[in-house]
Structure 1
Amino acid sequence: MTGQSPSPAASKDITPVQGMVASCSGAIITSLFVTPLDVVKIRLQAQKNPFPKGKCFVYCNGLMEHICVCENGNSKAWYKAPGHFSGTLDAFVKIVRYEGIKALWSGLPPTLVMAVPATVIYLTCYDQLYAALRLRMGTYAEEAPLLAGSIARVGTTTVISPLELMRTKLQSEKQTYRELTQCIRSAMETEGWLSLWRGLGPTLLRDVPFSAMYWYSYEKGKRLLCEHYNAREPTFSITFISGAVSGSIGSIVTLPFDVVKTRRQVELGELQAKNLSSGVSSSTFSVMSRIVALEGFRGLFAGFLPRLVKVAPACAIMISTYESGKDFFHKHNQEQRLRLQQTNA
């Protein structure tokens, strides 16, 4: 990697196993750090629209399910019911108070099970595609991150979509793995195997543009920072800043699709339990239309702050850890070769 033309891992002198270790370490560290923020984001997004004044109803937002009564008719007011969140900080406090601090890491096992293989597949595909596309795109080489990131994300998201669904269900409501298994089995009996890919459409609409914007911004930002600081190779701080800024831009633009994805995945099992008609369209844009009609345009940006607070450091930690891991193995291999040459000499 140089300041003028940072290269992907494929051009570094590291083995595939070393690349996997670098990506896995980044995935584990990132998951441990950002899972609480992800839990809060999903809880906020799963909340339902308020009911008219005096209405008595069973309130279920994924976190709780009990009878509530509306305290006033203000459509922007929430109910005086335990467990309802008025904001990010309120969600953190109430989750810890009513469920314990461990609840902030609910869904961590499937997150790790999903994050490790997904990260290996994603980063490996991106590095290989980026290296190949830069050679073939000629004068358009600067656009290579857009295409490489998009293709890598489509494949990865499709493979791990069922695990993403399980993680979302575990984070949106307090339940055991046995209850989750029963819920998934019931959904499969009713809707078939495709129910495991519920929310794949909005997930792709969220993740593919995000990946394209992220990698383009990251590679460009990294190159500009290297030139600004006259750095031959990107330092930890350069990759950290580039990752954070790029992640922030992508997360803001794609947030509405993240909200739709969460709503659709949280619905898994609820339709069967309530015997609701399946005649209501569940397409991405139909769900978006219903959210806007019931909650206004702001409903599409539910969980804005926790998503931004989560994605920016997550991207920064992931990419800087990954790049540092690649540099470590690259230098390690160079030292080994040098020692071997000295020994043979």
Structure 2
Amino acid sequence: MQNENFIKGQGAQRNVVNRFDRYTYEPEDEDFETVKTSFTEVFPKTIVNQVKSQDLPMEYSMNPYQGCEHGCSYCFARPTHEYWGYSAGIDFERKIMVKKNAPELLEKFFQKRSYKAAPILLSGNTDCYQPAERQFEITRKLLQVCLDYRHPVNILTKNTMVLRDLDILKPMAEQNLVSVSLSIPTINEELRRKMEPRTSSGKNKLKAVEILSQNNIPVHVMVAPVIPGLNSDEPLNILKSISDAGALGFGYTLVRLNNTVEPVFVNWIESHFPDRAQKVLNLIRSMRGGKLGDKRYFERQKGEGNIAEMIHTTFKIGKKKFFEGKEFPALSTSNFTGTRDQQLRLFD
């Protein structure tokens, strides 16, 4: 039975205390349903981040937006909003920072004499195709710069808006410069509307996998996160569906609720699934050594215990059954020279 006293179309149901703030104040009667999303332009000095985590496969990432409107209660990026003085709760979804100078910063980065090309992950923290992209088109401009400089980029998104940029993605794919990874944690539409309320539907994501594949753009799918007791019965169905649609590979993660993600998720699941909230939370604890989060390198990816092992086994079966013989290509860095190819510019 779902608790009807919640904010629809949103993951966080309230703000949570910023762990860096000594004092906090939030009016008890504040109506968050009437608070509109605001956009603030910020002026970073760099847009490309070097990824230093030992258990992540990418060297670089870039994020044109800080904060995300998609509304996933479990999003690991929520605590990063606290560095800006905001809450990881509702603020993360309603106060979006926009990096309009990102394309110029990326071009300067490519022009550094010391830079040696390596694929850059577009997203990695917050979604580069979240709803704000319709208005600002920063992701599109970043892709154009990558095409101009013949630089490889991996795109990670939950939104089928990526199809808008097929005119850029297709010439990039012809030079082996791009891949797209779509996040599909569930194909149960009722669950999807609660888990990730402002993302594209599972049906539309599967169609996007098909369209991208038909245009020879390599597609990978992230089944993430797997939440025991919610979507942990879906992996085989998801893997079959994405393989049939043309995906060449997949990855998955087990849910973990570090720092202020924990109170956001707990409040969310108690609001949407009050009848099984404690069961789900206890199943997560069984994978995380009695806790809801885990920050240990490598161990945080694997989890522990019988539930985690069952999930790993399921994905191994799915890989053998639906992806045998499929291979995801490595992107090319060989054409990057650090100078723009004017013939590749589609717009100015």
**TM-score class normalised by the smaller sequence:** under 0.3
Q: TM-score, normalised by structure 1?
A: 0.24
Higher helix share: 1
Could you say which structure has the larger radius of gyration? Answer: 1
The structure with higher relative contact order (CA 8 Å, sep 6+) is 1
